[in-house]
Homo-oligomer: A and B are copies of this chain.
């Protein structure tokens, strides 16, 4: 017989999941009720409204998909792309690369532009490519979790709107930790995950679609290739029709509701300021030890700090020591940064002085011992 699973004592400072508040865990442990229960329908309406506030949007089609952040990515490509559509993807890390793969599987005609890992795109560079390609949609990652780079988005949406292209944004790591201004920045569609700056366990993907994206969806000539992620049906479950589509992950939604309550109790401005303040504190400490960011100067993400692996420390062995001696999880480098970078997350509940001082102390001790 398999033994019961007892969770080891961890402090989550990787690229997500982040530490989850006890209130959220307690909410998830409430008894399961039916996915068509009137009380559950009211909960879903609450979550839509909470997500609108967090996404800074009036978009009616705002909800949580029943999968993790990558399911959010796939949802938007599968619903907004028809075979042969030109899509411009801006690639500067793992998640931009993943967008290319997902868009190709949706049979888009994919055009990609690339920046070296760790860097961001100047808006003009994206617009020049858009003028050349004339895409129906431009897709870009706001917070590239694999590199720690913070992509500026201001001005991009308005300029693409003039060009008739939709703007699709990956806000997985930024939502709740830095401004994501769906309406003000004229972002047509965005997705996120719950396990980063919202500090909810992984398993849901918040998405929001504006009027131009909804019009694209409604004008489709072909069925969405994914039944599970087909928004034309899911909107009838989350919307006032309340038509059964699939069985929602009920307890996960209890957790998201409570996590969003915590976000909104704090307030978005205060939450963004907290992430930034903790980032500055962490950065000062890291740089005092001689550790260097691998992301572009002036474009570091507050919640995801990607630094070079300290000289004299072996990547995997160093992370193992942090996990075993301190219970601290940090993230390994991916792709171009594999073996070369460490990713230190201070997300949601984890963006506080305790987390920051602990990782700094652990790193100082490790560097001193060598």
Check A249 for interface membership: any CB of B closer than 8 A.
yes
Per the 8 Å Cβ criterion, residues 265-318 of A in contact with B are 265
Number of copies: 2
Contact among B8, B29, B248 for A28, CB-based, below 8 A: B29
Residue from B27, B33, B228 within 8 A of A329 (CB atoms): B33
A71 at the interface (CB under 8 A from B): yes
In whole Å, how far is A9's beta carbon from the nearest beta carbon of chain B? 8
Please report the C-alpha to C-alpha distance between residue A32 and residue B255 in the assembled complex, in whole angstroms: 12
If A74-B226, A203-B249, A264-B2 touch, does A33 touch B50 (CB 8 Å cutoff)? no
Contact A202 B8 (CB under 8 A): no
With A5-B43, A7-B31, A17-B32 known to touch, is A246 a contact of B70 (CB < 8 Å)? yes
Within 8 Å of chain B (Cβ to Cβ): is A82?
no
Tell me whether A326 is interfacial, beta carbon within 8 Å: no
Contacts of A74 in B (CB 8 A): 226-228
CA distance A195 to B66 in the complex (A): 14
Q: Is A179 an interface residue (CB 8 A)?
A: no
Question: Which of B8, B39, B195 is close to A8, meaning CB atoms less than 8 Å apart?
Answer: B39
**Which A residues form the contact surface with B (CB < 8 A)?**
1-2, 4-8, 10, 12, 14, 16-17, 19-20, 25-39, 43, 46, 49-50, 66-71, 73-74, 98, 101-102, 104-106, 193, 195, 201-203, 223-229, 244-252, 254-255, 257-258, 260-261, 264-265, 323, 329, 332, 334
Beyond A8-B33, A71-B246, 17 additional contacts (C-beta under 8 Å) are: A1-B261, A2-B257, A7-B39, A14-B36, A25-B30, A28-B29, A32-B195, A33-B329, A34-B329, A66-B71, A68-B248, A74-B227, A74-B228, A105-B223, A201-B252, A203-B251, A203-B252
CA distance A113 to B12 in the complex (A): 52
| CB pair B39 A27 closer than 8 Å | no
A254 cross-chain contacts in B, Cβ below 8 A: 5, 7
In the bound complex, what is the Cα–Cα distance between A203 and B5 (angstroms)? 19
**Residue of A50, A74, A105, A247 most packed against chain B (CB within 10 A):** A247
Q: Determine which of B10, B26, B226, B249 lies in contact with A29 in the assembled complex, contact meaning CB atoms within 8 Å.
A: B26
A48–B269 alpha-carbon span in the complex (Å): 44
Contact in complex: B39, A31 (CB < 8 Å): no
Give every chain B residue within 8 A of A329 (Cβ-Cβ).
Answer: 33-34, 37
Q: Within 8 Å CB of A264, what residues of B?
A: 1-2
Q: List 5 A-B contacts (CB under 8 A).
A: A7-B254, A12-B33, A17-B250, A36-B332, A67-B67
Residue of B nearest to A248 (CB): B202
